[in-house]
Structure 1
Amino acid sequence: MSADQALHMMTQLFWNSFLIAGPILIATLVVGLLVSVFQVVTQLQEMSLSYVPKLAVAAIVTIVLAPWMLGRLTGFATSLFNGIPSLG
């Protein structure tokens, strides 16, 4: 395996991981910011108020996008396995 092939595989790995994890991270970031603004406005400093909505949104986004995420991950793994003969 040449350095170019390894670099291409690492680029694909990072890009796919960004695409798979990105929606969950963005959704929890937005909910976290909204909850933080709500806590500042109401001066309610309950610790569980910040974790429960983020956890619920992460679960909902994961359930909704699971088929797409699994398809993306399966396609990436298939392309890696199909590329094994060309590495030698």
Structure 2
Amino acid sequence: MRLLPWTGTDGKPCYLSTDDPDSRLSRLADDVEQAQLASAEQVLAGAEAVLRDPKAGERAVHFALVRALESLGDVLRVAVSRGERLREGDG
């Protein structure tokens, strides 16, 4: 079972049951993970810029923190999913 990089409409994790890493849904999940990681890099750079700016207002800091939290959640889900797949490969 692969933890997918998105949640259901109820906020619960979604899983994919397949042995085919080249299935259409597996490839879509790979693409979404890649996009989430790239987005996290941009969010990190933006948050660093806001925090270095002594003139950054409360709204800018709040926005940077909200985006950083969203990205951290995405990156953690990717890490858990990849860790689970590594363990499955060892078994």
Give the TM-score band, short-chain normalised: 0.3 to 0.5
- The structure with more radius of gyration: 1
Q: Which of the pair is proportionally richer in strand?
A: 2
TM-score normalised by L of structure 1:
0.39
Q: Which of the pair is proportionally richer in helix?
A: 1
- Of structures 1 and 2, the one with the larger relative CO (CA 8 A, separation 6+) is 1
